Amino acid sequence: MRRYFGTDGVRGTVNETVMTADFALTLGRAAGHVLTRHLAHQPHVLIGKDTRLSGYMIESALCAGLTAQGMNVLLVGPIPTPAVAYLTRSLRADAGVMLSASHNPAGDNGIKFFAADGFKLPDEIEMEIEACIDDLPPLPPALEIGKAMRVDDARGRYIEFLKASLPRGLRLDGIKVVVDCANGAAYDVAPRILSELGCEVISMFDAPDGYNINHACGSTYPEQMINRVVECSADIGLALDGDADRLIACDHRGQLVDGDRVIAILAEHAQAKGQLQGDGVVTTLMSNMGLERYLNALDLKLHRAAVGDRYVLEMMRERGCNIGGEQSGHMILLDRNTTGDGLMTALQLLCAMRDQEKPLAEMAADMPLFPQKLWNIMLAERIDIDHDERIQRRVAQAEAALGDDGRVNVRMSGTEPKLRIMVEAERETLMLEVGEALVADMSALLNGA
């Protein structure tokens, strides 16, 4: 049983949960001991962070724990999560750490580890660290502690890495871009690289103060980006989240282009270039049936993983696919980086627009979406729905009512005692009829659960 690590590292509200300076120090010592034990040399670990106020505190405490246990630390400052994954590989570090709570409010923070290859730390290593937290080893002798060093050119290295993912000599002159940096980790990198590639850039929410990350901006609040695109007659809007591993786009009319449509555009573009690996793409159980039918028409498969980028990545590696992601905008381009990368996705989207000489609206319209709706039922506590015959029977009845023209997905939230019910169908009237009946039935069944 995991006590601290979730599917995306350790996360919580600062000074209210485990996310304290004391815990970060302890975690640093535990991680330092475990990682050192697996190596024959004094290891180096790289630490990046987003722009939260608590990043200073957590970074200092974690760094103290790691160096106390004998690890050398490379501090790269505020930088996107995918940059940490890349720089861990590029700088030959033995591990990387990102301090971020992604799209969560400023009061939250998280600690996410990467292995030397830029992928998330294996489960067995995380479990070793968890066990060590409760049984810390002795400290090494005074002259065997580690040291901390600043890496001054980290952002520039990441920008050059992003450019190298594009065709040599490609320029994006004439494309007018609105970019919402979410007052987060990409506040400097995103406008810089777009400008260097020739875009006319209108940058928003690029002045972090420690408190305003994700506050009414970024990928979870794209309304202001949409308004600015329409006001400025821009060609495209790009909204990142706090650590810049997600992207939500909009076209010149202000219409949102979600992760499903972005995957469709990138998959078709890669297929035309002979760059698509595997027999299709990987998404989650929540992806729209419209995407599945669209890909099938291209002789491509859609593989569905459990909700969460960790599971998408696992299936991509199993299937040999290089494109995968979620509706929420968390895209993984595995032949280019080892984790979700909002800026990498944005550049590939702009590259597709330039190559095809089409506006985003036209490319997005090629894939029709099925009407889809998500309902939530709050419960007193989490329940095991997979082994509840009453729930499974009602889900089966709803699926029978939809036939081949729709789909039902019922699951528990990963973080709350909340039942999530998603229904989609080719016809909106059928979707609402089946969905509302299922929700009413479930609510009556689980009332008082």
Name the residues annotated as catalytic: 102
Q: Are the C-beta atoms of 112 and 100 separated by less than 8 Å?
A: yes
SS3 360: helix
Q: Are the C-beta atoms of 192 and 248 separated by less than 8 Å?
A: no
Q: Are the C-beta atoms of 109 and 19 separated by less than 8 Å?
A: yes
H-helix segments, 357-427? 360-365, 389-402
Please enumerate in sequence order all residues whose Cβ is within 8 A of that of 274, keeping only pairs 6 or more positions apart, or say none: none
Please enumerate in sequence order all residues whose Cβ is within 8 A of that of 12, keeping only pairs 6 or more positions apart, or say none: 18, 19, 108, 109, 110
Beta bridge partners of 203: 179
- Which class for 151: exposed (0-12), middle (13-18), buried (19 or more C-beta within 10 A)? middle
Q: Is 140 left (phi over 0), alpha (psi -120 to 50) or beta?
A: beta
Termini Cα distance of the chain: 24
Give the whole-angstrom CA distance, residue 241 versus residue 181.
Answer: 7
Helix axes 342-356 and 189-196, enclosed angle (nearest 10):
20
Q: Are the C-beta atoms of 219 and 249 separated by less than 8 Å?
A: no
Give the whole-angstrom CA distance, residue 35 versus residue 132.
Answer: 11
